[in-house]
Amino acid sequence: MTGKKYITTEEDLEGIIVCKGWITEKEKYDLMLETDFLILPSEFEGSSMSVIEAIMCNLPCIVSPASSETIGINDLVVSLEDPKDWSGRIISLSDKDIYNRILEKLEIQSHKYEIEEIKNKWREVYEDIYLKSNKSETNKIT
């Protein structure tokens, strides 16, 4: 577990969970390479960079509905209401076939976050603004 340390000692969790606190970018990347999935239960954080980075590393993310649009895979979205739903989803991802199907879906989802795709989207936005601006100026002249 990364981020703020709410639990200060491993003994509190009998060594099952290691609370690393805040980590460097390199440590984060290294963890993403050795991790099987990311868990992001959040009521408000929808378009989390953590989720986008995980998608780009082909790392499945189990997320709450706030991040459903970002992850784009319904099988990875779990309600915040019952922690047992989260543990059930974790257990289901331990099935190799299910995990591999999720990886295939992630590969497809990752394309929308590629740099060239983002550049194209921004170009479309700016071209649209430019065209609307010029059309408005043309209408003023006539």
Q: Tell me the per-residue pLDDT of 106-127, one tens digit each, with 9 for 90 and over.
A: 999 999 999 999 999 999 999 9
Q: How far apart are CA 123 and CA 61, in angstroms?
A: 29
Question: The domain at 35-141 falls in which architecture?
Answer: 3-Layer(aba) Sandwich (3.40)
Helix (H, G, I), strand (E, B) or coil at 41: coil
Backbone angles phi, psi at 80, to 5 degrees: -80, -5
Q: How far apart are CA 105 and CA 81, in angstroms?
A: 26
Domain positions in the chain are 1-34, 35-141
Q: Are 98 and 92 in contact (CB under 8 A)?
A: yes
pLDDT digits (tens, 9 = 90+) for 58-99: 999 999 999 999 999 999 999 999 999 999 999 999 999 999
Could you tell me the pTM of the whole model? 0.73
* Pair of tokens at residue 69: 């649009």
Q: Are 32 and 11 in contact (CB under 8 A)?
A: no
**Helices 49-56 and 96-110, packing angle to 10 deg:** 110
Q: How far apart are CA 17 and CA 41, in angstroms?
A: 16
